Amino acid sequence: MIMSSNSRKYSSQVVDGYERAPSRAMLYPVGFKKEDFNKPQVGIASTWSMVTPCNMHINKLADEAEKGVNTAGGKGVIFNTITISDGISMGSEGMKYSLVSREVIADSIETVVGCQGFDGVVAIGGCDKNMPGCIIGLARLNRPSIFVYGGTIQPGENHTDVVSVFEAVGQYANNAIDAIELENIEKTAIPGAGSCGGMYTANTMASAIEALGMSLPNSSAQDAISADKNNDCIRAGEAVLHLLEKDIKPNDIMTMNAFENAITVIIALGGSTNAVLHLIAMANAAGVNLTIDDFTRIGKNVPVIADLKPSGKYMMSELVEIGGTLPLMKMLLEAGLLHGDCMTVTGQTMAQNLENIKPYADSQDIIRALDNPIKKDSHLRILRGNLAADGAVAKITGKEGLSFRGVAKCFGREEEALAAILDDDIQAGDVIVIRYEGPAGGPGMREMLAPTSAVMGKGLGGKVALITDGRFSGGTHGFVVGHITPEAFKGGVLAVVEDGDEILIDAENNSLELLVEQSVIDKRLSHWIQPKPNYTKGVLAKFAKLAQSASKGAVTD
């Protein structure tokens, strides 16, 4: 490929001219040859790490992306950014670093690419926060870029996954299984590399990014260990050179219409509540004014049609087998639910990418027809009321019912609530209230997978509800409301809920109400004193000071 001079806009500042000899000298030892200094440099941001199976294979994928860049006439340079493991840290103090890692990933990609003068970027992510972190970094830089998803894991023994293990903890506490059965699930649920296998946060965000136009077609629906995923990486490396030649940048792709496409696809798939938080943050980085109310507007017209875990039956690897996400996207496009004119990283529009895609086979039952949905409108509900003046996010598939009225049982942190559930202190009709877990109060807005899974394991799914200013894992299901804003630490009404108060969650009217007289609420608030922060130094303290509310994506800039 013959590259234009514009394709070296940044690297030329670092390596061109006699005065840049010291810079070139530093690059020879890391594999540069003389002719490489005349090529566009493409940074390959790898999230490889052995801290989680989601990312344990990404070093090999980064090698494939480098091959694609080099073959297409560029010079690929691999560098690393961090990942943490949500699944490992879930339910512990360490989980407070999870959302923070999104910002660290974005900051580190921006820092390395900006410093080194890379002309383009390939970012490869696996675990949940990798995806939005990478996209936020790419949007800030606004250099020709592409995202590659590391791919999904295979199901464990007996069609299990990590959520099966969390729910098994509740089953064991309820004497439904014994210690040997628990250990067997623990040992066999996660068989190898790849991101958690249901339509949890990783697969949700990968699907959203593909619909956004920032990944190659079907990148979100490939097994982690597969020839398709290796080829995806090679093609991504090649595609960046095409983007450089055409000067197509992330902010040319990530428009408001593109974000609407992403929202539409994740609703159809029954995706994670975390998509609300992350898409708002990604849009903020791209200069797009996406709000929580856009999810309500779009959700009125988009049905849930994918029978995928956690609320459904199937795993992502089974969706891969029937054709992945592309036939679904074509269904939505033909129904007028997607903007087909949006540009993508292929250099073509969404409609052009989908033109020759064949429909799913009639024999499959993972994806339903649009006129036979699982739910006729969105499962992602933006609730408001005296408990959430600035919004909250519920994940209501309809299987739990559409409203819940119950009695509050209040806890100041996740661990206290989990202990109460496992000790049988939670009964049918209770609304579990977990507060001081928001972006500032936690800090870090932990995910409540451990308590929600314990509820399911105890056989209380549908019989109790859980509300929090924290978040939920994509693996959570049941009658749950998170992202409550204002959060308790900021003086939200959630801070003054008392045991025995009645709470109404109404997903039909999108309301979340504390059924207590306003004069009583006002009196309680007048006596409320903000707790001391849990952290005053370090990255958690920085996040607590900088992060905006959950309704604004918990962004730090």
Annotated binding site for Mg(2+): 86, 128-129, 447
Q: Got the DSSP string for 272-305? A: -THHHHHHHHHHHHHT----HHHHHHHHTS--B-
Q: What are the binding residues? A: 54, 86, 128-129, 447
- Give the CA radius of gyration of the chain: 23
Contacts of 486 (CB under 8 A, 6+ apart): 389, 390, 492, 493, 494, 549
Parallel, antiparallel, or unpaired for β 75-80 and 41-46?
Answer: parallel
The answer to whether residue 453 is catalytic is: no
The CA distances from residue 549 to 441, 445, 466, 555, in Å, are: 11, 10, 20, 8
Peptide bond into 155 cis (omega under 30): no
Report helix, strand or coil for 367. strand
Provide the 8-state DSSP code for 445: -
Place of tokens 């020759």: 356
DSSP-H helix ranges across 213-291: 227-246, 250-253, 256-268, 274-286
**Sheet-wide strand order for 75-80:** 75-80, 41-46, 120-125, 145-149
Residue 363, φ and ψ in degrees, nearest 5 = -75, -15
Report helix, strand or coil for 554. coil
Nearest to 342 by CA among 323, 358, 329, 331: 329
Whole-angstrom Cα distance, residue 32 to residue 54? 31
Whole-angstrom Cα distance, residue 197 to residue 155? 7
Distance of CA 394 to the CA centre of its chain: 16
Stretch (H or E) spanning 527 = helix 518-527
Whole-angstrom Cα distance, residue 397 to residue 545? 35
Q: What are the binding residues for [2Fe-2S] cluster? A: 54
Which residue is catalytic, options 89, 195, 215, 473? 473
Tokens standing for residue 348? 């073509």
Whole-angstrom Cα distance, residue 449 to residue 163? 8
Which residues participate in catalysis according to the annotation? 473
